[in-house]
Amino acid sequence: AQTVTQSQPEMSVQEAETVTLSCTYDTSENNYYLFWYKQPPSRQMILVIRQEAYKQQNATENRFSVNFQKAAKSFSLKISDSQLGDTAMYFCALGSSNTGKLIFGQGTTLQVKP
Amino acid sequence: NAGVMQNPRHLVRRRGQEARLRCSPMKGHSHVYWYRQLPEEGLKFMVYLQKENIIDESGMPKERFSAEFPKEGPSILRIQQVVRGDSAAYFCASSPPLAGVEQFFGPGTRLTVL
């Protein structure tokens, strides 16, 4: 079975500081994809960053980067220079190239404080 | 290019009534996914459809729930004889016909069962 675990229900960070959100997963597949989605109070699901499992290089999107440790099945998200607009619920998700569906973690609520 | 459209955004039903949720995927997307989000939880996969076909319904409750994606028109998630436990946010996502690409989410339908 595929599972995704986010062990930090809540996190807070001061504006302009850096924060790292943790995610571990389990899958028996060789071809899979990992995602971080952001859900602000509007509840819209917004893709933050995407990582293909076959790529060793960690994905980066502006202030967002990941630390992908395939052997450890770990996929953490680092947010640099945190902004007030980063306040949201963040979900880690595992995507199967076979089935297409996404398996989501429980989410981490991030509060950016001024 | 319009995003994924869902309607209604809010739906209130009394116990025993039927709920019909609609999803129009992004232009060019032939894959549709439905997810359910209970309060304070992550999204849970329900069903994956392509035009006129149900590909994976492993997350659908065995009774009262059904989904379709006809050749013409939106995808429909139908819940018969709703109960209070069906109260949740229901998200639709679409993707083009390539495995591993990101899923684009609609704004969700919040169903409240009185």
Chain-centre distance for alpha carbon A36: 3
Mean of all residue pLDDT scores within chain A? 93
Is the minimum CB–CB distance between B105 and chain A shorter than 8 Å? yes
pLDDT bucket at B14, cuts 50 / 70 / 90: very high
Q: Please state the length of chain A.
A: 114
Selecting from A91, A95, A105 the residue whose C-beta is nearest the C-beta of B100 gives A95
Other CB atoms within a 10 A radius of the CB of residue B98 amount to 9
A91–B89 CB contact, under 8 Å: no
Is the minimum CB–CB distance between B103 and chain A shorter than 8 Å? yes
- Residue A14 C-alpha, separation from nearest chain B C-alpha, in angstroms: 24
- As a whole number, mean pLDDT of residues A50-57 equals 89
A101–B33 CB contact, under 8 Å: yes
Selecting from B55, B100, B105 the residue whose C-beta is nearest the C-beta of A97 gives B100
Cβ neighbors of A53 (< 8 A, separation 6 or more) are: A30, A31, A32, A33, A34, A70
Best residue in B45, B94, B111 for a mutation probing chain A (most A CBs within 10 Å): B45
**pLDDT the model gives residue B99:** 56
Chain A residues whose beta carbon lies within 8 Å of the beta carbon of residue B33: 100-102
Separation in Å, CA A100 to CA A9, A24, A78, B72, B88: 27, 19, 26, 22, 23
Residue A43 burial (C-beta neighbours within 10 Å; 0-12, 13-18, 19+):
middle
B19-66 pLDDT per residue, tens: 999 999 998 888 999 999 998 788 999 999 998 899 999 999 999 999
**pLDDT the model gives residue A18:** 97
Cα–Cα dist B12/B113, whole Å: 6
**pLDDT the model gives residue B28:** 85
Q: Report CA torsion sign: A65, B42, B11, B106.
A: positive
B53-102 pLDDT per residue, tens: 999 999 999 999 999 999 999 999 999 999 999 999 999 999 987 655 68
Is the pLDDT score of A61 beyond 60? yes
Torsion of CA B42, B45, B50, B56, to 10 degrees: 160
Is the pLDDT score of B1 beyond 60? no
Using alpha carbons, select from A72, A64, A70 the residue that is nearest to residue A21.
A64
pLDDT bucket at A15, cuts 50 / 70 / 90: very high
- Residue B63 C-alpha, separation from nearest chain A C-alpha, in angstroms: 21
Cα–Cα dist A99/B77, whole Å: 20
Range in A79-83, A103-107, B18-22, B39-43 the model is least confident about: B39-43
Buried b (16+ CB within 10 A) or exposed e, B29-59: bebbbbbbbeeeebbebbbbbeeeeeebbeb
Is the pLDDT score of A93 beyond 90? yes
Cα–Cα dist A25/A93, whole Å: 9
**pLDDT the model gives residue B46:** 97
Other CB atoms within a 10 A radius of the CB of residue B104 amount to 18
**pLDDT the model gives residue B2:** 73
**pLDDT the model gives residue B100:** 59
**pLDDT the model gives residue B102:** 80
